[in-house]
A and B are shown apart, each in its own frame.
Chain A
Amino acid sequence: MKKIFQLAVIVILGIIPIGVNAQCKGFAKKICKVELNPYIHDGNYHAAILTVGEEAELYKTFYSATDYRISVCGTDNLGDIEFKIIDADRNVIYTNKSQQFSRIWDFRLESSQQLKITVKVPAVEGVTGDIPGGCVAIMFGFKEK
Chain B
Amino acid sequence: MGKKILSPLPVTAAALFLIAVMFSGCGSDKKKKAGENIGLDSTEISQDLIEDIGQAKKIFYSLPSPLETAMLIKNAGATYNEQLLNPISNASKYTTNKTRALNLGIYTTDLSFASLFDQTQTSIDYMNAAKQMANGLGILDAIDNNTIERLEENINNRDVIMDIISETFMNSSSTLTETARPALASIVLVGGWIEGLYIATSLVGDAPIKDNMLVSRIVDQKLSFDIVLKLLDDNKDNTDVAELIKEINNLKATFDKITITSSKITAVPDEESNVTILKSQTQVNITQDIFRELSAKVSALRTNFIS
Cross-interface CB contact of B62 among A60, A107, A111, A112, cutoff 8 Å = A60
Which parts of B11-37 form the interface with A (CB within 8 Å)?
Answer: 12-13, 16-17, 20-21, 24-27, 29, 34
Check: A93 CB closer than 8 A to any chain B CB: yes
Given contacts A59-B62, A63-B72, A110-B277, whether A43 and B165 have CB atoms under 8 Å apart is yes
Check: B75 CB closer than 8 A to any chain A CB: yes
Complex interface: stretch among A18-26, A72-80, A124-132: A18-26
- Listed in ascending order, the chain B residues whose CB lies under 8 Å from chain A are 9, 12-13, 16-17, 20-21, 24-27, 29, 34, 38-40, 44-46, 48-49, 52, 55-68, 71-72, 74-75, 116, 159, 162-163, 165-170, 173-174, 177-179, 216-217, 220, 223-224, 226-227, 230, 262, 264-265, 267, 273-282
Cross-interface CB contact of B179 among A18, A111, A142, cutoff 8 Å = A18
Q: Give the residues in chain B near A44, CB-CB below 8 Å.
A: 62-63, 65, 169-170, 173
Report Cα–Cα, A108/B268, bound state, in Å: 10
Report Cα–Cα, A137/B59, bound state, in Å: 13
Cross-interface CB contact of B178 among A18, A108, A112, A114, cutoff 8 Å = A18
A9-B13, A40-B163 given; 17 more Cβ-contact pairs under 8 Å: A10-B16, A16-B17, A42-B64, A45-B26, A47-B27, A48-B26, A53-B52, A54-B58, A56-B29, A66-B72, A89-B264, A91-B265, A93-B267, A110-B277, A144-B71, A144-B116, A145-B75
Q: Are A46 and B166 in contact (CB under 8 A)?
A: no
Pull 28 A–B residue pairs with CB atoms less than 8 Å apart, ordered by A. Answer: A10-B12, A10-B13, A17-B21, A43-B68, A44-B62, A44-B170, A44-B173, A45-B27, A46-B60, A48-B58, A57-B38, A58-B62, A59-B59, A59-B61, A59-B227, A60-B62, A60-B63, A61-B223, A66-B72, A88-B262, A90-B44, A93-B278, A106-B274, A107-B267, A110-B280, A112-B220, A135-B26, A138-B60
Q: Are B226 and A65 in contact (CB under 8 A)?
A: no
Chain A interface category by residue count: 35 or more
| Chain B residue nearest to A116 in the complex (CB) | B40
B120 shortest CB reach to chain A, Å:
17
A49 shortest CB reach to chain B, Å:
7
Check: A103 CB closer than 8 A to any chain B CB: no
- Closest 9 A-B residue pairs measured CB to CB? A43-B169, A43-B166, A111-B282, A60-B62, A47-B26, A17-B24, A56-B58, A58-B60, A43-B65
